[in-house]
Amino acid sequence: MRNARNALLPSLQYLSQNKRQLQKNIQKINQVGLLSGICLIVGTMIGSGIFISPKSVLLYSGAVGPCLLIWTACGVLSTLGALCYAELGTMITKSGGEYPYFMEAFGSIVAYLYSWTTIMVLKPSSFAIITLSFAEYTSTPFYPGCSPPLIVTKCLAAAAILIITSINCLSVKLASYVQNFFTAAKLVIILVIVGAGIVLLAQEICIIYFLFHYFYRNQLNFITEELKNPFRDLPLAIVIGIPLVTVCYVLVNVAYFTVMTTTELLLSPAVAVTFGDRVLYPASWIVPLFVVFSTFGSANGSCFTAGRLVYASGREGHMVKILSYINVKRYTPAPALIFNGVLAIFYIIPADINTLINYFSFAQWFFYGLAALALIVMRFTRKDLDRPVKIPVVLAGIMVLVSCYLVLAPIIDQPELEYLYCTIFIFSGLILYYPFVYRKVNWGRKIMRPITMHLQLLMDVAPPEKTE
């Protein structure tokens, strides 16, 4: 063991020198500007849902009127949640989404359970869900008249995860450029659908008013430390990004309801594709192509933000130390990104999209509500913190109540074992928390020390200067 350690010393000295250089140039990591921030919000909110979800909402609502009311309610909830995250993000300018807010408001245990659940399940399963959607749309044209084989879909999804993870490991700027490009691409197809819908709308009806939003409004809070000017860019990106998504969603749904009746829309396997076949033929192929672009961009945004939570948690000692290291040449949290990508591939192997979505949404709404509660708690416990954005506390209270309803309602309406499994998994993190985080047992450090050294050399990474 000693001989092996001595053999590693020259390489470790090299990494030590690069660590000092990394700490001098740590500001280079702050490469995300306002435009990239807006694209991250828009790109993750607009995934494949805008091309599929109108069918699901109409199916459960039963008619156009209630359907539009549901979208309107979603818009209100999304706005309230975004305002809460705008205050939290400008008050505590640390990366990691809800993680630093829970640390400040509730302490180490709650923050650890959040990071444990989100890192091990929520983020990688979300990544897997989006890449599976990407794979389905990519492979479907090659299997006309039938569904693509499951093995093909899963292999394509795994390949997408590898490509996206590699892009994010190579460069923060490259990942931002990819996000910007695919966000622009999805806006192009939205403009095409809207333009065609407006032409038909002018021929058939006078005017329709309705509003709705989509979720994932907290993605920018995961990369707060990488924003060039978080106090300006974070709230401004939210103010610009979410209304932009709202306008897109409203106009696209106007186009859908103009071309299809409710029955036709419900029978459509993919609403946007059916729309394209009817209105854009013979150029209808552009719709599935741009849906592929949309899902790929959304997956890139999911990977981009997930790596920052893993990194932030590792930096605080809630995950193994190597996950908080940054590549000494590329300034990316490569270990955290790779870890998230590997977990996402594992989730693709046994599960289907519906199972992952059910598991994801239950726990995610719980943490959304807890974030709003953290805002309320810190209004009383941390009055000293500067709040560039300050919302009425009653709005946060509404978000807490709504989140409680959305967590409890499905359990009461249709109790299933999956909810119990989710709860057990969340609290099972305490089994690891006590010995490795609270007690910091020596034998755990002895096991991880040589593993950390070898991984550090393999990935050419070093610990950055700790952010206070």
How far is Cα 88 from Cα 97, in angstroms, rounded to an integer? 9
User: Angle formed by the axes of helices 172-204 and 150-170, to 10°?
Assistant: 120
At residue 407, what is the residue type?
A: V
Taking only the tens place, the pLDDT of each residue in 336-380 is 999 999 999 998 887 565 665 666 677 888 888 999 999 999 999
Return the pLDDT at 16.
55
Write phi, then psi, for 103 (nearest 5 degrees). -60, -45
Q: CB–CB of 225/93 below 8 Å?
A: yes
At residue 207, what is the residue type?
A: I
How far is Cα 251 from Cα 249, in angstroms, rounded to an integer? 6
The domain segmentation of the chain, as residue ranges, is 32-212+226-462
Question: Taking the model in full, what pTM does it have?
Answer: 0.81
Write phi, then psi, for 326 (nearest 5 degrees). -125, 140
Grouping H, G, I as helix, E, B as strand and the rest as coil, residue 327 is strand
Return the pLDDT at 199.
65
Q: Where are the alpha helices (DSSP H) in 140-223?
A: 150-170, 172-204
User: Angle formed by the axes of helices 49-61 and 271-279, to 10°?
Assistant: 110
Q: CB–CB of 85/221 below 8 Å?
A: yes
Grouping H, G, I as helix, E, B as strand and the rest as coil, residue 452 is helix
Return the pLDDT at 114.
92
DSSP letter, residue 119:
I
Q: CB–CB of 73/211 below 8 Å?
A: no
**282 preceded by a cis bond (ω within 30 of 0):** yes
Please spell the DSSP secondary structure of 41-103, one letter per residue: HHHHHSSSHHHHHHHHHHHHH-SHHHHHHHHHHHHHHHHHHHHHHHHHHHHS--SSTTHHHHH
Name beta bridge partners: 327.
Answer: 461
Taking only the tens place, the pLDDT of each residue in 172-189 is 888 888 888 888 877 787
The CATH number of the structural domain formed by 32-212+226-462 is 1.20.1740.10
In terms of Cβ atoms closer than 10 Å to its own Cβ (0-12, 13-18, 19+), residue 315 is buried
CA 352 to chain centre: 19
Report strand pairing: 326-327 vs 461-462. Answer: antiparallel
Return the pLDDT at 204.
44
Among residues 75, 81, 45, which one has the least CA distance to residue 400?
81
pLDDT by residue for the chain (468 residues), tens only, comes to 454 445 455 555 555 555 555 555 544 455 566 777 777 777 666 666 666 656 666 666 666 666 666 666 676 677 777 888 888 888 988 878 788 999 999 999 999 999 999 898 888 988 888 888 888 888 877 887 777 888 998 999 999 999 999 999 998 888 888 888 888 877 787 777 777 766 665 544 533 333 333 445 566 666 677 777 777 777 777 777 777 777 777 777 777 777 777 777 777 766 777 777 787 777 777 877 888 888 888 888 888 888 888 888 888 888 888 988 988 888 888 999 999 999 999 988 875 656 656 666 778 888 889 999 999 999 999 888 888 888 899 989 988 998 888 888 878 887 887 778 888 888 999 999 988 888 888 888 888 888 888 888 888 888 876 544
Return the pLDDT at 359.
60
Q: Please report which helix (H) or strand (E) contains residue 127, including its range.
A: helix 123-139
**269 preceded by a cis bond (ω within 30 of 0):** no
Name beta bridge partners: 326.
Answer: 462
Q: CB–CB of 136/292 below 8 Å?
A: no
Among residues 307, 327, 339, 310, which one has the least CA distance to residue 459?
327
Return the pLDDT at 356.
59
